[in-house]
Chain A
């Protein structure tokens, strides 16, 4: 069965510091992988996606993620966080050709001055 694990429930980072959010997936075929961000009380916004090709993908808001098949990982990174990056981040894998998603439990990011 497909699954997505985000090991860190909560991360606190100082403004200007780097950020890395971990994501591990379990999926039989070549995965379509996504990172979404959610501000409080809002819907989900797509940060970036991977489905083939270059394993380092660039997204919006200065985020990037690296797909590592050997480690079944798709970690999200940002070199220097801004206070506006405080939000909840979800990793997801597409489980069929129609777009159905399996989500991780999410990582809450707090940014301190």
Chain B
């Protein structure tokens, strides 16, 4: 089945540690996104990528990094510079263009907790 797979589902980070969240899609979508979700704030865009080897900062990129070495994969690293990383992280992908089949599809999310 086509879809987006995020792993792990739960992740615990110690202070000062970098952690990487995985996102893989087999929908053949060009664009991929990382969103952060906090209670009462909806989803906020961290980074996005429209083609391989290229990505742009979203609204809250500080303390995060990404790579896009393959079309299918868009991992997110939460660095020690991110002072409040505890949140629910969602990966999404979509086709470019106009018309019917341009909605974003979402993974099941990764809950990151600082311990």
Interface residues of A (CB under 8 A from B): 4, 9, 32, 34, 36, 41-46, 49, 51, 90, 94, 97-101, 103-106
Residues of chain A contacted by B71 (CB below 8 angstroms): none
Instruction: Pick the contact of B96: A43, A98, A105, A106 (CB < 8 A).
Output: A98
- Whether B96 pairs with A97 at a CB distance below 8 angstroms is yes
Q: Which 8 A-B pairs have the closest CB atoms?
A: A99-B94, A103-B42, A43-B106, A44-B106, A105-B42, A98-B31, A103-B43, A43-B108
Near A by CB (< 8 A), chain B positions 46-82 give 48, 50
Residues of chain B contacted by A99 (CB below 8 angstroms): 31, 33, 92, 94-96, 102-104
| B112 at interface by CB-CB < 8 Å | no
| B2 at interface by CB-CB < 8 Å | no
Residues of chain A contacted by B6 (CB below 8 angstroms): 43
Query: Which of A4, A41, A45 has the most chain B CB within a 10 Å cutoff?
Result: A41
Interface residues of B (CB under 8 A from A): 4, 6, 30-31, 33, 35, 40-45, 48, 50, 88, 90, 92, 94-100, 102-109, 111
Interface SS of A by simple majority: loop
- Whether B104 pairs with A101 at a CB distance below 8 angstroms is yes
Min CB distance A99 to B, Å, is: 3
* Subset of 19 A-B contacts with CB under 8 Å: A9-B40, A32-B102, A41-B88, A42-B109, A43-B4, A43-B6, A43-B106, A51-B98, A90-B42, A98-B31, A99-B92, A99-B96, A99-B102, A100-B31, A100-B48, A103-B42, A103-B43, A105-B42, A106-B42
**Which residue on B lies nearest to A4, using beta carbons?**
B42
Residues of chain A contacted by B106 (CB below 8 angstroms): 36, 43-45
CA distance A51 to B111 in the complex (A): 32
